[in-house]
């Protein structure tokens, strides 16, 4: 090798050494971030983090009138989020407004002993206890558990232990900025990409795979902004989340409290739900459901807030609506096995594409039911049913990906009308068009009971949905008349079971009942 070649090699080596020295490894960046936040000892001493006074937006609520409509943002206010890092508990407390709809909600993941329990407070409804999988949230996340798995303190500490120290951090663009990035693993073993601000040394955000109850496995980005000092610890006061490349939630908090003694009270199981908490622990997967007889062969599956109708045929069952959560449908499945031994759920009908009314379709498909979907709802329902759910893995994903794969229900699309008949029993599904709440909207009719099941657009007493006189109720009454259905009873996806005459009264007489 010539002197010139040796000189070039030495210079190249020196430049590479300098570059490597100038670009620390991801683990060092993670340690620097922990130091900038207050140091490992202080972060590890945190038991509870209470983020208060939050306001912002929540997207991906699944509440559009038509499946093709753009998702309108929900407005979040009075947000209080508490993560009990020491005991594995979390709380989402907030008020959500979507258009003219406003509701205060509070979902709590707590424990009795070492057993996890969900406690759900929705508006003025009675408090209930569920299994953790029975919680349905419209807060910054769809489950309080995400506060435990995705909070900046746990992420930073895990990264300081697990990020790579073999190679220098890479330059990457994140949230429109050029940052340093590297990979690490969370305490639960999830792969995560970290983004560090070279000026502040703080963690600017991270990317990770979330298994979201409605969206399934989706790449999520967490953007951390507005770091402020709190009791000697520096924490972000604004958190923005995207999932699948689309906006999910963004909230600005006015204050954060560390180890606030008042935070512990949130996790106490109220006396009104104490016995139910024991029931949830014993059942494993549980949400309150009871079967009320409507007529011969027709039952109302009365749950916490979202209900179903059961139609009994000679050799099988059909369920109209599989709402809310996997835990609710698993509870319903156990009740049906007890009430109707030997009769499988062959069909499950969906009335509309809103997420709170389709949150159980994967669970009922895992039971083997064919999911009946009107053509106007197909894109949303197909996406829900075909998504992977790996962390945690739900029952449908387990059965589909077992070796060998286990049988599951499929999706069947109909347009306008679908009739199921066996023996002297039949169930008729009709898609009504032009409803102000959702379009199309499927209503279910059982001729033998002269009963119609409808959800959201009007609810029999006790009325907990949209109120009494409203355009949706008038449209429902008009549609029943147009279909020439002979109706005596209304069965509610919310509320209870009531006489058809109540719908007529609520509709201010704009259409005459066809049964008169």
**Which among 510, 513, 440, 424 is positioned nearest to 470, based on CA atoms?**
510
Q: Do both 349 and 483 map to the same domain?
A: yes
Check if the beta carbon of residue 184 is closer than 8 Å to that of residue 196.
no
SS3 405: coil
Q: In angstroms, rounded to a whole number, what is the distance separating the alpha carbons of residues 237 and 52?
A: 9
Phi, psi of 195 (to 5 degrees): -130, 125
27 falls within a domain: no
242 falls within a domain: yes
Check if the beta carbon of residue 227 is closer than 8 Å to that of residue 237.
yes
Q: Do both 297 and 263 map to the same domain?
A: no
Strands 345-349 and 317-320: parallel
Q: In angstroms, rounded to a whole number, what is the distance separating the alpha carbons of residues 309 and 298?
A: 7
Tell whether the model's pLDDT for residue 8 goes beyond 60.
no
- For residue 178, the model assigns a pLDDT of 95
Phi, psi of 352 (to 5 degrees): -165, 170
pLDDT classification of 124: cutoffs 50, 70, 90: confident
Q: Which residue has the tokens 């499945």?
A: 333
Show Cβ contacts of residue 16 under 8 Å, excluding neighbours closer than 6 positions.
none
Tell whether the model's pLDDT for residue 47 goes beyond 70.
yes
Q: Do both 442 and 315 map to the same domain?
A: yes
pLDDT classification of 466: cutoffs 50, 70, 90: very low
Q: Do both 324 and 416 map to the same domain?
A: yes
Q: Do both 392 and 493 map to the same domain?
A: yes
Which CATH number belongs to the domain containing residue 94 in this structure? 2.50.20.10
Q: Do both 312 and 263 map to the same domain?
A: no
Q: In angstroms, rounded to a whole number, what is the distance separating the alpha carbons of residues 159 and 495?
A: 48
Here the tokens at position 82 are 């508490």
Tell whether the model's pLDDT for residue 128 goes beyond 80.
yes
Check if the beta carbon of residue 272 is closer than 8 Å to that of residue 281.
no
Q: Do both 357 and 453 map to the same domain?
A: yes
What is the average per-residue pLDDT within 232-243?
98
| Cβ count within 10 A of residue 265 | 8
Q: In angstroms, rounded to a whole number, what is the distance separating the alpha carbons of residues 41 and 34?
A: 9
- For residue 469, the model assigns a pLDDT of 55
Q: Do both 198 and 328 map to the same domain?
A: no
Tell whether the model's pLDDT for residue 102 goes beyond 90.
yes
Q: For the segment 13-46, what is each residue's pLDDT rounded down to a tens digit? A: 444 444 444 679 999 999 999 999 999 999 999 9
Q: Do both 79 and 139 map to the same domain?
A: yes
pLDDT classification of 222: cutoffs 50, 70, 90: very high
**Which among 359, 338, 341 is positioned nearest to 455, based on CA atoms?**
359
Check residues 363 and 472 and name the one with the higher pLDDT: 363
Tell whether the model's pLDDT for residue 273 goes beyond 80.
yes
Tell whether the model's pLDDT for residue 401 goes beyond 90.
yes
Q: Do both 244 and 114 map to the same domain?
A: yes
434: left (phi over 0), alpha (psi -120 to 50) or beta: left
Please state, rounded to an integer, the average pLDDT across all residues of the chain.
Answer: 92
435 falls within a domain: yes
Q: Do both 67 and 213 map to the same domain?
A: yes
Q: Return the C-alpha torsion angle 235, 238, 243, 244, nearest 10.
A: -100
83 falls within a domain: yes
User: What are residue 108's DSSP bridge partners?
Assistant: 91, 119
SS3 78: strand
| Cβ count within 10 A of residue 98 | 15
Domain that holds residue 191: 41-267
Tell whether the model's pLDDT for residue 88 goes beyond 80.
yes
**Which among 466, 449, 450 is positioned nearest to 458, based on CA atoms?**
466
Q: Do both 388 and 486 map to the same domain?
A: yes
Q: How many domains does the chain have?
A: 2
Check if the beta carbon of residue 167 is closer than 8 Å to that of residue 184.
no
205: left (phi over 0), alpha (psi -120 to 50) or beta: left
Tell whether the model's pLDDT for residue 479 goes beyond 90.
yes
Tell whether the model's pLDDT for residue 464 goes beyond 70.
no
Show Cβ contacts of residue 168 under 8 Å, excluding neighbours closer than 6 positions.
19, 20, 23, 24, 25
129 falls within a domain: yes
**Which among 472, 470, 480, 471 is positioned nearest to 500, based on CA atoms?**
480
Which CATH number belongs to the domain containing residue 447 in this structure? 3.60.15.10
Element (H, E) at 318: strand 317-320
Provide, rounded to the nearest whole percent, the portion of the chain with pLDDT above 70. Answer: 92
Provide, rounded to the nearest whole percent, the portion of the chain with pLDDT above 90. Answer: 87
Given 267, 299, 330, the domain boundary residue is: 267
6 falls within a domain: no
| Cβ count within 10 A of residue 237 | 19
pLDDT classification of 462: cutoffs 50, 70, 90: low
Running DSSP on this structure, what letter comes out for residue 390?
B
Element (H, E) at 421: strand 417-422
Check residues 467 and 95 and name the one with the higher pLDDT: 95
Q: In angstroms, rounded to a whole number, what is the distance separating the alpha carbons of residues 101 and 110?
A: 28
45 falls within a domain: yes
| Cβ count within 10 A of residue 20 | 12
21 falls within a domain: no
**Which among 270, 194, 271, 205 is positioned nearest to 238, based on CA atoms?**
205
């Amino acid at each position: 090798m010539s002197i010139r070649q040796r000189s070039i090699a030495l210079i190249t080596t020196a430049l590479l050494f300098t570059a490597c020295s100038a670009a620390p490894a991801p683990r060092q960046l993670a340690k620097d971030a922990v130091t900038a936040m207050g140091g490992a000892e202080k972060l590890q001493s945190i038991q509870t983090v209470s983020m208060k006074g939050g306001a912002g937006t929540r997207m991906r609520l699944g509440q559009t009138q038509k499946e093709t409509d753009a998702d309108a943002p929900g407005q979040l206010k009075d947000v209080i989020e508490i993560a009990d890092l020491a005991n594995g508990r979390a709380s989402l407390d907030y008020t959500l407004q979507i258009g003219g709809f406003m509701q205060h909600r509070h979902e709590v993941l707590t424990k009795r002993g070492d057993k996890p329990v969900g406690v759900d407070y929705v508006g003025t409804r009675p408090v209930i206890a569920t299994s953790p999988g029975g919680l349905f949230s419209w807060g910054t996340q769809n489950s309080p558990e995400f506060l435990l798995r995705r909070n900046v303190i746990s992420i930073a500490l895990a990264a300081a232990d697990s990020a790579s120290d073999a190679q220098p951090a890479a330059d990457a663009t994140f949230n429109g900025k050029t940052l340093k990035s590297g990979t690490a693993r969370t305490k639960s073993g999830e792969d995560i990409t970290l983004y560090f601000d070279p000026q502040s040394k703080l963690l600017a955000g991270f990317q990770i795979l979330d298994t979201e109850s409605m969206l399934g496995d989706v790449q999520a980005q967490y953007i951390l902004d507005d770091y402020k000092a709190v009791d000697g610890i520096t924490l972000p006061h604004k958190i923005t989340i995207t999932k699948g490349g689309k906006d999910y939630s963004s909230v600005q908090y006015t204050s954060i409290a560390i180890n606030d003694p008042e935070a512990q009270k949130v996790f106490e199981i109220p006396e009104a739900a104490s016995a139910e908490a024991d029931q949830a622990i014993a059942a494993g997967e549980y949400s309150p459901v009871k079967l009320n007889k409507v007529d011969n062969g027709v039952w109302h599956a009365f749950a916490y807030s979202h209900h179903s109708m059961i139609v009994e045929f000679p050799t099988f069952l059909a369920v109209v609506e599989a709402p809310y959560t996997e835990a609710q449908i698993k509870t319903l499945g156990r009740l049906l096995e007890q009430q109707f031994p030997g009769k499988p759920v062959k069909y499950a009908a969906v009335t509309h594409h809103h997420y709170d009314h389709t949150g159980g379709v994967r669970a009922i498909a895992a039971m083997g039911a064919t999911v009946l979907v009107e053509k106007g709802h197909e894109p949303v329902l197909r996406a829900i049913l075909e998504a992977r759910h790996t962390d945690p893995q739900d029952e449908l994903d387990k059965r589909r990906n077992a070796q060998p794969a286990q049988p599951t229900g499929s999706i069947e699309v109909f347009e306008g009308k679908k009739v199921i008949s066996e023996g002297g029993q039949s169930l008729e599904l009709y898609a009504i068009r032009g409803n102000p709440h959702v379009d199309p909207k499927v209503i279910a009719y059982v001729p033998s009971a002269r009963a119609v099941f409808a959800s959201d657009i009007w609810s029999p007493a006790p009325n907990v949905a949209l109120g009494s006189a409203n355009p949706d109720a008038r449209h429902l009454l008009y549609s029943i008349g147009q279909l020439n259905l002979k109706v005596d009873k209304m069965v509610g996806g919310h509320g209870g079971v009531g006489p058809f005459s109540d719908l007529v009264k609520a509709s201010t007489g704009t259409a005459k009942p066809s049964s008169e």
